[in-house]
Amino acid sequence: MTSKPTNLNAGLVRAMILLTMLAFVVVYAGLVLYFFFIYEWIYADGEFDTAWQMGDTITLGLLLAIGILTASVGGWRLARQITEPLKSVASAARTIAHGDFSARAVLPRRSFGEAGELVADFNLMAERLERAETELKYSNSAIAHELRTPLTILRGRLQGLLDGAFQPSPELYSRLIAHVDDLGGIIEELRTLALSNAGQLDLQYSAVDLASEVEAAVTAMEGELSSAGSLVIRRLEKAATFADKARLRQAIIAILDNCRRYAPNSTIYLRTWEAKGFVYFRCTDTGPGLGDESRSRAFERFWRADDSRNRVSGGSGLGLPIVKAIMQAHGGDAVILPTDDSGFSIELQLPYREDGRG
């Protein structure tokens, strides 16, 4: 059987009263010890007035009553200052527990600094929960949409083959396989993000040089970049560390593919370097770029800028979130840098490692 928790207000008031009474006992015992024992020993020939003892006792009683009253008022006020923020946080927490993630705690006036920090941290947590809930709802809808499109096309083509509306041909089968590959790519991207969120993204560390990996990725995408009219300018300095080579190349290719899709006929500047315990890769294009709001949302799942929302040119909307997930799994990060005029600039940051320990 669990006992009922003590009310903090009452507990603080009782504690203040007990402290006051303890102080009174200490003072009273000290005075008694002094006047009845030490005083007689020091002033053996002095006269002792018993009437004074009664007056002293009454005085001490009054002092005790005043002290208890003061402690009660002070304890009550102190308890109010402590409990009001706690009650606000508790009320907001109950609201969030019932599914309303918009609830926020309110900081009363004249609160302690620690209470302000508690309310601020709680509201930050609530804001992130609300954002995560919104993103989850949007992701579920987007996943259904992204999977429904190729599945609908596949079913239509297969139904056409079954009904004899389409004649079997290598070109038709190639298109069907391409749709299956699209589905497989989306599923693999979702799996990568799920593993990253769960902290289970397995990394196979080995010695890598960012400059070499960028060069290899550009070579692999040379045809696609050329078809998009992209001019690639490299400034690749040595940037050696230990990382998962396959995942790292996946992130670099995703960035280059992002430039190909959304910044055709532009110049792409690629740079790698080392500095202050980190290795860096920066990709900057001269395309249309993103606004401030778009930059803040670029790493959200399935999000696409307005100009790229159609499925003809736009990707799945998972490329940049996967890039960030891969970097964070390595202990690094991916950040979108502001640009002076137009264009898009993204930077990958990896910690320098001398061995393959994560």
| Residue percentage of the chain with pLDDT more than 70 | 70
Query: CB atoms < 10 A from the CB of 129, how many?
Result: 13
Res. 209 pLDDT band, cuts 50 70 90: very high
Res. 296 pLDDT band, cuts 50 70 90: low
Mean pLDDT of 66-72: 69
Query: CB atoms < 10 A from the CB of 36, how many?
Result: 11
pTM of the model: 0.58
pLDDT, residue 132, reads 76
Quick check: 272 pLDDT over 90? yes
Res. 349 pLDDT band, cuts 50 70 90: very high
pLDDT, residue 308, reads 41
Res. 309 pLDDT band, cuts 50 70 90: very low
Mean pLDDT of 34-41: 64
pLDDT digits (tens, 9 = 90+) for 46-67: 555 544 456 556 666 666 676 6
Res. 274 pLDDT band, cuts 50 70 90: very high
Q: How is domain 132-197 classified at the CATH fold level?
A: Helix Hairpins (1.10.287)
CB 327 within 8 A of CB 333: yes
Mean pLDDT of 294-298: 68
Q: Report the range out of 118-132, 199-213, 233-247, 317-331 with the highest average pLDDT.
A: 233-247
351 DSSP β-pair partners: 278
* CA distances (Å), origin 304, targets 126, 128, 228, 295: 26, 21, 19, 11
pLDDT digits (tens, 9 = 90+) for 74-94: 667 777 777 788 888 888 888
93 DSSP β-pair partners: none
Q: How many whole angstroms separate alpha carbon 325 and alpha carbon 299?
A: 9
Mean pLDDT of 336-340: 80
Mean pLDDT of 104-122: 81
Res. 329 pLDDT band, cuts 50 70 90: confident
SS3 per residue for the chain: CCCCCCCHHHHHHHHHHHHHHHHHHHHHHHHHHHHHHHHHHHCCCCCCCHHHHHHHHHHHHHHHHHHHHHHHHHHHHHHHHHHHHHHHHHHHHHHHHCCCCCCCCCCCCCCCHHHHHHHHHHHHHHHHHHHHHHHHHHHHHHHHHHHHHHHHHHHHHHHHHHHCCCCCCHHHHHHHHHHHHHHHHHHHHHHHHHHHHCCCCCCCEEEEEHHHHHHHHHHHCHHHHHHCCCEEEEEECCCEEEEEHHHHHHHHHHHHHHHHHHCCCCEEEEEEEEECCEEEEEEEECCCCCCHHHHHHCCCCCCCCHHHCCCCCCCCCCHHHHHHHHHHHCCCEEEEECCCCCCEEEEEEEECCCCCCC
pLDDT, residue 46, reads 56
Quick check: 222 pLDDT over 80? yes
For the beta sheet containing 231-236, the strands, ordered from the edge strand earlier in sequence to the opposite edge, are 231-236, 267-275, 278-285, 344-351, 333-337
Q: How many whole angstroms separate alpha carbon 161 and alpha carbon 223?
A: 33
Res. 32 pLDDT band, cuts 50 70 90: low
Burial of residue 50 (number of CB atoms within 10 Å: 0-12, 13-18, 19+) = exposed
pLDDT, residue 51, reads 44
How many Å from the N-terminal Cα to the C-terminal Cα in the chain? 47
Tokens encoding 259:
């430039």
Tokens encoding 274:
């080392």
**What interhelical angle do 170-197 and 113-163 show, nearest 10?**
160
Domain spans of the chain, in order of start? 8-111, 132-197, 205-351
| Residue percentage of the chain with pLDDT more than 90 | 14
Instruction: Please name the residues in contact with 355: beta carbons below 8 A apart, sequence gap of 6 or more.
Output: 242
CB 255 within 8 A of CB 336: no
pLDDT digits (tens, 9 = 90+) for 137-169: 766 666 776 677 778 878 888 888 888 887 888
**May I ask the CATH architecture of the domain 205-351?**
2-Layer Sandwich (3.30)
Comparison of pLDDT for 120 and 111, the residue scoring more: 120
CB 252 within 8 A of CB 217: yes
Q: How many whole angstroms separate alpha carbon 183 and alpha carbon 206?
A: 30
pLDDT, residue 154, reads 82
pLDDT, residue 208, reads 92
